Amino acid sequence: MKKELLIASALVSTLGVASVAQAVTATMAGSMKVGAEFESDDGLGTDNNQVLDQSNFNISLSETTDGGTTISTSFEIVDEGTVAADDDNAIKLTFTDGSALELLNAGNAAGTHAAAVPGAGGEQGIAGTSDNNAPTGIDFAAGSTALGVEWHSAADFLADGLKVSASYSTDSGIAKSATVRTENSWGVGATYVTSAGDTTLTISGGIADSENATSGTQATNDKGGFNVGVVAVTGDLTIGVGYGDGDSHDYEGANIEIDGSVTKAGIKYVTGDLTMALGMTNGEAKDGSFGTAGTTDDSIDETSASVTYAVASGVSAVIGYTTVDAQNNGSSITDSGSSWYIGASMSF
């Protein structure tokens, strides 16, 4: 309870210094994507297609106090067949020295500094199965709860080009249940930007750990791990690679613990109005019931490519292709195959 009160006190005391105002400054952005996807599932031996109609609308709110502290937050409405509101957004305080503090729904600092590895555009893909627990994101081990804070340093922290973050979160104190949940978490992350001739290098990474809670058998390892990555930009060419390793958990009718790793690599080249991109993901995991270290192998190998054409300001057309080879417990599963996508997007 003390931890929750400290977080609430920090929020109230900071907001209390602001002058009374009628309304904050609001900005908006959004996009609309419409396209057709064609899937060929190797396991099912059948082809299918669907029209994807996706839209999102984002509102950002911001105001600055008389003391120079900027208070900001945002929310998003996403429509991908079912309208949903994304309310997992922190209240962010940005101070005059460039440092910042996020309060509530702050996330994990290890995930904040995960490398932005280039990847293909488009909405193509083969639907995954809940039985395959191979990770696909390098920050898969970075857990957090809603009652969290995250601090961000100003630019050039201790050295030119360096930024760091640290986070901590805790749960609401509710009673344990049969389904695993994150009880508390911490994370640290850093990003360093430097130049080598005409190339700009961004080196980033983070470490995260947490404690899980369940009323039943405990996992042999709590959720946690690390990620590292490097992205190089030379003119119109961007190349990146990232790696993540750690432990996680999932729920498939019973609590499942996962020991996994994932490697991502990608390349993007812009020439005039054309953007060509290629991305590759290799995820591996051993999973098993809580209390038993995993012995069975899950894996996913995915290669995606796309060509995007800027038709006009804010309007683009994209053609994308993906091929997926997935295995569960060492055997091929139906979620392997290939997929095409052709569509357009309009953004503002």
DSSP codes joined into one string, 11-40: HHHHHTTSPP-S--EEEEEEEEEEEEEEEE
Whether pLDDT at 16 is above 50? no
The confidence score (pLDDT) of residue 2 equals 45
Domain map (residue ranges) of the chain: 2-347
- The pair of structure tokens assigned to 121 is 């555009």
Whether pLDDT at 53 is above 70? yes
Residue 149's nearest CA partner among 113, 103, 182, 89 is: 103
Average pLDDT rounded to a whole number, residues 158-186: 88
Assign 90 a pLDDT band (cuts: 50, 70, 90): confident
Average pLDDT rounded to a whole number, residues 17-31: 75
Residue 9: strand, helix, or coil: helix
The pTM (predicted TM-score) of the whole model is: 0.84
Whether pLDDT at 76 is above 80? yes
Whether pLDDT at 256 is above 80? yes
Q: What count of other Cβ atoms lies within 10 Å of the Cβ of residue 200?
A: 15
Residue 90: strand, helix, or coil: coil
The confidence score (pLDDT) of residue 133 equals 84
More confident residue, 14 or 131: 131
Whether pLDDT at 3 is above 60? no
Give the model confidence (pLDDT) of 33-42 as tens digits: 999 999 887 7
Average pLDDT rounded to a whole number, residues 142-152: 92
Whether pLDDT at 174 is above 80? no
If you average pLDDT over every residue of the chain, what do you get?
A: 86
User: The domain 2-347 belongs to what CATH superfamily?
Assistant: Porin (2.40.160.10)
More confident residue, 236 or 77: 236
Burial 109-142 (b: 16+ CB within 10 A, else e): bbbbbbbebbbbbbbbbbeeeeebbbbebbbbbb
Residue 198's nearest CA partner among 230, 234, 232, 231 is: 234
The Cα–Cα gap between 136 and 74 comes to 27
Q: Could you give the C-alpha distances from 90 to 77, 81, 106, in angstroms and in order?
A: 16, 26, 5
The confidence score (pLDDT) of residue 99 equals 96
The DSSP symbol for 236 reads T
Give the model confidence (pLDDT) of 303-342 as tens digits: 999 999 999 999 999 999 999 988 887 666 667 889 999 9
The confidence score (pLDDT) of residue 251 equals 64
Burial of residue 85 (CB within 10 Å: 0-12, 13-18, 19+) is exposed
Percent of residues, the chain, with pLDDT higher than 70:
86
Give strand pairing partners of 80: none
Whether pLDDT at 295 is above 90? no
DSSP E strands in the chain: the ranges are 25-41, 46-64, 70-79, 83-86, 91-94, 100-103, 147-152, 162-170, 181-196, 199-213, 224-234, 237-251, 255-271, 274-289, 296-312, 315-328, 331-332, 337-347
The Cα–Cα gap between 154 and 10 comes to 20
Residue 326: strand, helix, or coil: strand
The confidence score (pLDDT) of residue 87 equals 56
The confidence score (pLDDT) of residue 86 equals 55
Q: Could you give the C-alpha distances from 168 to 12, 250, 299, in angstroms and in order?
A: 19, 22, 31
Residue 54's nearest CA partner among 74, 29, 82, 92 is: 82
